[in-house]
């Protein structure tokens, strides 16, 4: 029996939402099996989404702010802002990172996109100038899973994916994770969340349980 | 001669960046031709990216926060937070909205994604429950243009687009605009911005000038 360290990055402003319920359910299901779980509840943390100068405690170039260069410099000099460092430490600890979020306008909520931009920094998650990408990325050996809900029905999302392979949903987000070396496992998706019946919800939670217990 | 009202939504933390230069250049080029231009410099405004309860001055349901329902309610009762309302007024004024931004992790910077989520609210830009989407969306009659830079080379972005049609880049973002009724015109793209030579930069700015003058 192998126990995992699991970080759940949760991005929905309402804890009582379907996304909130899925996050709580994952915590319970994973802990019941003996795994260790930490949660980053981004809205509760009022996580800063905007990447800017304030992210860098020891700026390399105060005249002209270049995000990539400052991130590489901060990674070398251990000078990221404390909220970024706290997230990086959780990632370093984790064997598996689960992202729980609703699809808003076709992609990640801004608060979660900002988490990627600030925490998944150049020099921390990958370093393209040193070839530390994909199988050489700094996240190699870790797994990532996208767990998300959509407002629209399934057809909308599978229009261009005739084989209905859920791994092909959110290609941009999956690619960002792979770029850093993560193994991206099959996502868990609840479509049409606005219209979800209680019966379907129950089925979905059962399915999610099976998925989580197989990891 | 028709003069346009143009809103430029600018999302880069450094005014002296290539994106900043493109924004300034667009302002000058458009104004020289007699158009009226307003700029929303999101980083300078420290624009709030996170959609949450604070966006709604008159919450319909204080027990359980549902972003879509609160947006529809705020649109009906004219009760969006003032920073959102200010942006909505600029959009109402504009015939053309230009978005100037770098691609970060394959999509919009979080600060701009947050602008979409908060300002392009349900009930303001579209209303899916009333069929006010696409050609019936509330943005019908307006044009939108994506102007962006990429860190990676052209090949990365056209790998899945053999005909190299720039209109097929950023399909998620284009779709969000079309969903609200915008006519999305051809984007302006500078690839490989990190490695851009001065000579190529000059060519790019000439090309952008031609594009802007044709709108």
A50: nearest CB among B16, B17, B110: B110
Residues in chain B within 8 Å Cβ distance of A68: 151, 194
Give pLDDT tens digits for A145-174.
999 999 989 999 999 899 999 999 999 999
Residues in chain A within 8 Å Cβ distance of B49: 49-50, 110-111, 114
CB A193 within 8 A of CB A150: yes
pLDDT over 70 (residue A9): yes
Give pLDDT tens digits for A52-79.
999 999 999 999 999 999 999 999 999 9
Give pLDDT tens digits for A84-121.
999 999 999 999 999 999 999 999 999 999 999 999 99
Split at pLDDT 50, 70, 90, the class of A185 is very high
What's the rounded Cα separation, in Å, for the pair B187 and A206?
44
Tell me the CB-side half-sphere exposure of residue A101, using CA atoms within 13 A. Answer: 27
- Work out the burial of residue A137: count CB atoms within 10 Å of its CB; fewer than 13 is exposed, 13-18 middle, 19 or more buried: buried
Split at pLDDT 50, 70, 90, the class of A1 is low
| N-to-C CA span, chain A | 12
User: Can you tell me whether residue B53 is helix, strand or coil?
Assistant: helix
Strand-strand pairing, B143-149 and B183-184: parallel
B23 to A78, B37, B121, B203: CA distances (angstroms): 33, 11, 25, 16
Q: Which residues contact A198 (CB under 8 A, 6 or more apart)?
A: none
A68 lies within 8 A of chain B by CB: yes
- What is the pLDDT, as a whole number, of residue B194? 87
What's the rounded Cα separation, in Å, for the pair B102 and B1?
32
The top-level CATH class assigned to B5-214 is: alpha beta
DSSP letter at B31 equals H
Rounded to two decimals, what is the model's pTM? 0.97
- What is the pLDDT, as a whole number, of residue B1? 60
pLDDT over 90 (residue A195): no
CB A196 within 8 A of CB A171: no
| Residues B84-116: b if buried by 16+ CB within 10 A, e if exposed | bbebbebbeebbbbbbbbbbbbbbbbbbbbbbb
Average pLDDT, chain A: 96
Helix boundaries (H) for A33-164: 67-77, 82-93, 110-119, 154-158
pLDDT in 10s for each residue of chain B, 215 residues: 689 999 999 999 999 999 999 999 999 999 999 999 999 999 999 999 999 999 999 999 999 999 999 999 999 999 999 999 999 999 999 999 999 999 999 999 999 999 999 999 999 999 999 999 999 999 999 999 999 999 989 999 999 899 999 999 999 999 999 999 999 999 999 999 988 999 999 999 999 999 999 98
Min Cα distance B159 → chain A (Å) is 13
């Amino acid at each position: 029996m192998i126990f995992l360290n699991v970080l759940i990055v949760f991005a929905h402003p309402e804890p009582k939402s379907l996304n909130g319920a899925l996050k709580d359910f994952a915590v319970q299901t994973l802990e019941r099996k003996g795994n260790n779980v930490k949660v980053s509840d981004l809205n509760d943390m009022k996580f800063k989404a905007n990447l800017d100068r304030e992210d860098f405690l020891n700026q390399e170039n105060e005249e002209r702010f270049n995000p990539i260069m400052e991130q590489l410099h901060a990674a070398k000099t251990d000078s990221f802002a404390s909220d970024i460092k706290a997230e990086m430490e959780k990632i370093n600890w984790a064997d598996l990172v689960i992202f729980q979020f609703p699809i808003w306008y076709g992609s990640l909520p801004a608060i979660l996109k900002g988490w990627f931009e600030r925490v998944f920094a150049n020099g921390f998650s990958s370093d393209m100038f040193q070839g530390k990408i994909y199988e050489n990325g700094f996240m190699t050996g870790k797994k990532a899973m996208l767990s998300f809900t959509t407002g629209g029905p399934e057809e909308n999302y599978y229009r261009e994916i005739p084989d209905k392979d859920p791994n092909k949903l959110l290609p941009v987000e999956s690619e960002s994770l792979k770029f850093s070396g993560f193994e991206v496992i099959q996502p868990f998706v609840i479509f049409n969340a606005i219209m979800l019946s209680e019966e379907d919800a129950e089925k979905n939670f059962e399915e999610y349980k099976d998925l989580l217990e197989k990891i």
